[in-house]
Amino acid sequence: MVKGKGLILFNVVLASFFLSLLLAPSVFGVVPSEFVISVAPADTSLGANTSYQFSFTPTSDIPVNMAENTAGFVNVIVNYESRGEGGGEPDPTQSPDFSNATFASDDLSLVPGGGEGNETNIYTALFSNALSGGQKVSFTLGNVINPQVAGSFNVQIEVGTVELLGGEGGPMDRIDQGGKIGAFYLGNVVMGKVVDPKGNGLSMVGLELHTKDYSKSYQWGTGEDGAFSFVGVEAGDYLLEVWLSPGSGYVNPAETPAISYSGGVYDMGEIAVRLPSKVVTGKVKFGDGTVPTNVEVGANQKGGRNWLSTVMEADGTYELGLTGGEWELMLNAPWDKDTNTQLPVNWAYTNPPRIVSFADDDTEESAKVNFTVVKATARVIGQVLYPDGSPAARGGVDVRGSDGMGSGGGLNDQGVFTVNVPAGKYKLGVHLDDQSYAVPQMDPFRVGEGETKDLGTITLVKKNEHVLGRVLDKAGNGIEGIKVEAWSPGGSGWTETTSEAGGKFDLLVSPGEWEIMPRPEEGYVYMGGPPREVSLSKDQTVSGVEFKLVSATAVITGLVKDESGQVMTDLFGWAEAMEGAGDPPMPGPGTEISNGSFSLAVPAGTWTVMVHLPPGSQYSAMAGKTVVVKDNETKSVDVVVKANDARITGKIVDENGRLVKGVHVEVFGHSPTGGMKHTFVDQDTGRYVLDVVGGTSWFLGVFVDPSSGYMMRPPDDSKTVVASGKTVERNFTLLSADAAIEVTVLDPNGEPLDGVFAFADTHAGKEGEGSEDMGKGIHTGDIVDAGGKIVLQVPAGTYGVGSGAPASIGYMNPDIQRVTVAKGETKKVTLRYKASDAVIKGSVFIDGAKSSAFVWAWSDQGGHSEVMSFSGDYSLNVTKGDVWHVGADYKKEDGTFYRSPEYIVTVDSAQQTQDLALAETDFTIPPATSRSFSATNPAVITLENGAVISIPAGAIAQSGTVTVVATPTEQLAKQENARPLAFGYDLRALADGTPVNSTFNSDVTITIPYTEGMLDELGITEDQIGASYYDTTSSLWQGITSFTVDTDSNQITFTVNHFTQFALTTGGADTTPPDAPTDITAVSGSTQVELSWTNPSQADFDHVNIYRSTTEGSLGDLVKSSADSSVASYTDTGLVNGTTYYYTLRSVDERGNESTNANQVSATPEAELPVTGVSLREALGFYFQALLYFISPVFALRRKFF
Q: Is the pLDDT of residue 32 over 70?
A: no
Residue 803 lies in a domain: yes
Which phi and psi angles does 768 have, rounded to 5°?
85, 5
Q: Is the pLDDT of residue 1170 over 50?
A: yes
Helix (H, G, I), strand (E, B) or coil at 151: strand
Q: Both 729 and 756 in a single domain? A: no
Q: Which helix (H) or strand (E) holds 1012?
A: helix 1012-1018
Residue 335 lies in a domain: no
Q: Is the pLDDT of residue 616 over 70?
A: no
CA distance 358 to 306: 14
- Minimal CA–CA distance to 84: which of 157, 158, 190, 178? 190
* Side-chain-side CA neighbours of residue 1018 (13 Å): 22
CA distance 857 to 889: 11
Residue 1157 lies in a domain: yes
Q: pLDDT tens-digit profile of 964-996?
A: 888 888 888 888 778 888 889 989 888 877 778
Mean of the pLDDT values across residues 42-69?
A: 89
- Minimal CA–CA distance to 857: which of 873, 839, 843? 839
**DSSP sequence for 799-858:** EEEEEE--GGG--BPPPPEEEEE-TT-EEEEEEE-B---EEEEEEEEETTEE--EEEEEE
Residue 22 lies in a domain: yes
- Minimal CA–CA distance to 1162: which of 1076, 1105, 1080? 1080
212-221, 546-555, 1029-1038, 1183-1192: segment of lowest average pLDDT: 1183-1192
Residue 1066 lies in a domain: no
Q: Is the pLDDT of residue 797 over 50?
A: yes
Q: How confident is the model at residue 1154 (pLDDT cuts 50, 70, 90)?
A: confident
At which of 784, 812, 832 does a domain end? Answer: 832
CA distance 212 to 574: 11
At which of 231, 247, 272 does a domain end? Answer: 272
Q: Any residues with CB less than 8 A from the CB of 298 and at least 6 apart, and which?
A: 246, 307, 308, 309, 329, 330, 331, 332, 958, 1001
Q: Both 79 and 166 in a single domain? A: yes
Mean of the pLDDT values across residues 230-255?
A: 85
Amino acid letter, residue 412: N
What would you measure as the largest C-alpha separation in the chain, in angstroms? Answer: 164
Average pLDDT, the chain: 83
Cβ atoms of 671 and 699 within 8 Å: the answer is yes
Mean of the pLDDT values across residues 30-54?
A: 80
Alpha carbon 81 to its chain centroid, in Å, reads: 37
Q: Is the pLDDT of residue 178 over 60?
A: no
What is residue 660's predicted lDDT score, i.e. its pLDDT?
92
CA distance 64 to 875: 98
pTM value?
0.66
CA distance 601 to 595: 19
Q: Any residues with CB less than 8 A from the CB of 1187 and at least 6 apart, and which?
A: none
Q: How confident is the model at residue 827 (pLDDT cuts 50, 70, 90)?
A: very high
* Side-chain-side CA neighbours of residue 1141 (13 Å): 30
Helix (H, G, I), strand (E, B) or coil at 323: coil
CA distance 1202 to 1198: 6
At which of 690, 709, 736 does a domain end? Answer: 736
Q: Which helix (H) or strand (E) holds 177?
A: strand 174-186
Q: Both 176 and 39 in a single domain? A: yes
Q: pLDDT tens-digit profile of 727-754?
A: 999 999 999 999 999 999 999 999 998 8
Query: What single DSSP character describes residue 956?
Result: S
**What is the 3-state composition of the chain as percent helix, strand, coil, each rounded to the nearest 5?**
5, 50, 45
- 78, burial (CB in 10 Å: exposed 0-12, middle 13-18, buried 19+): buried
396-400, 453-457, 796-800, 1139-1143: segment of lowest average pLDDT: 396-400
Residue 708 is part of a domain; what is its CATH number? 2.60.40.1120
Mean of the pLDDT values across residues 316-325?
A: 91
**Degrees (nearest 5) of the Cα angle 995, 1001, 1007?**
80
Cis peptide before 584 (omega within 30 of 0): yes
Q: pLDDT tens-digit profile of 410-448?
A: 888 899 999 988 888 888 888 887 888 888 878 788 888
**Degrees (nearest 5) of the Cα angle 885, 890, 894?**
160
Residue 281 lies in a domain: no
Residue 157 lies in a domain: yes
Q: pLDDT tens-digit profile of 308-317?
A: 889 999 999 9
Q: Both 745 and 732 in a single domain? A: no
CA distance 139 to 152: 21
CA distance 217 to 960: 11
Q: Is the pLDDT of residue 791 over 90?
A: yes
Q: Is the pLDDT of residue 179 over 60?
A: no
Q: pLDDT tens-digit profile of 1107-1137?
A: 999 998 888 888 998 878 899 999 999 999 9
What is residue 1200's predicted lDDT score, i.e. its pLDDT?
34
Q: Both 807 and 708 in a single domain? A: no
Mean of the pLDDT values across residues 263-290?
A: 93
Q: Both 8 and 95 in a single domain? A: yes
Q: How confident is the model at residue 343 (pLDDT cuts 50, 70, 90)?
A: confident
Helix (H, G, I), strand (E, B) or coil at 1046: strand
**DSSP sequence for 737-790:** --EEEEEEEE-TTS-B--S-EEEEESSTT-TTS-----SS--EEEEE--TTSEE
Q: Give the whole-number percent of the chain exceeding pLDDT 70.
A: 87
Amino acid letter, residue 717: D
Q: Both 876 and 917 in a single domain? A: yes
Q: pLDDT tens-digit profile of 1049-1076?
A: 899 998 888 888 899 988 766 667 888 9
Q: pLDDT tens-digit profile of 618-661?
A: 888 877 888 999 999 999 999 888 888 999 999 999 999 999 99
Residue 502 is part of a domain; what is its CATH number? 2.60.40.10
Helix (H, G, I), strand (E, B) or coil at 21: helix
- Minimal CA–CA distance to 735: which of 790, 780, 796? 796
Q: Is the pLDDT of residue 1029 over 60?
A: yes
Q: Both 181 and 194 in a single domain? A: no
Q: Both 708 and 762 in a single domain? A: no
How are beta strands 646-653 and 727-729 bridged, if at all?
parallel
**Degrees (nearest 5) of the Cα angle 1148, 1152, 1157?**
40
Q: Is the pLDDT of residue 493 over 60?
A: yes
Residue spans of alpha helices (H) in 266-329:
none
Domain range holding 515?
463-551
Mean of the pLDDT values across residues 151-171?
A: 73
Q: How confident is the model at residue 1143 (pLDDT cuts 50, 70, 90)?
A: very high
Cβ atoms of 816 and 801 within 8 Å: the answer is yes
* Side-chain-side CA neighbours of residue 756 (13 Å): 29
- Minimal CA–CA distance to 556: which of 593, 599, 592? 599
Cβ atoms of 898 and 892 within 8 Å: the answer is yes
Work out the end-to-end distance of the chain between its first and last CA atoms, rounded to an integer number of angstroms. Answer: 155
Taking the CA atoms of 601, 602, 607 and 611 in sequence, report the sign of the dihedral they define. Answer: negative
Q: Both 755 and 842 in a single domain? A: no
Amino acid letter, residue 397: V
Taking the CA atoms of 855, 859, 864 and 865 in sequence, report the sign of the dihedral they define. Answer: negative
Q: Both 114 and 169 in a single domain? A: yes
Q: Both 30 and 148 in a single domain? A: yes
Mean of the pLDDT values across residues 569-595?
A: 76
Q: Any residues with CB less than 8 A from the CB of 959 and at least 6 apart, and which?
A: 206, 243, 307, 935, 936
Residue 994 lies in a domain: no
Structural domains in the chain (count) = 7
Q: How many other β-carbons are positioned within 10 Å of the β-carbon of residue 543?
A: 11
Cβ atoms of 161 and 70 within 8 Å: the answer is yes
Cβ atoms of 488 and 514 within 8 Å: the answer is yes
Give the total residue count for the chain.
1202
- 86, burial (CB in 10 Å: exposed 0-12, middle 13-18, buried 19+): middle
Q: Any residues with CB less than 8 A from the CB of 849 and at least 6 apart, and which?
A: none
Q: Is the pLDDT of residue 884 over 60?
A: yes
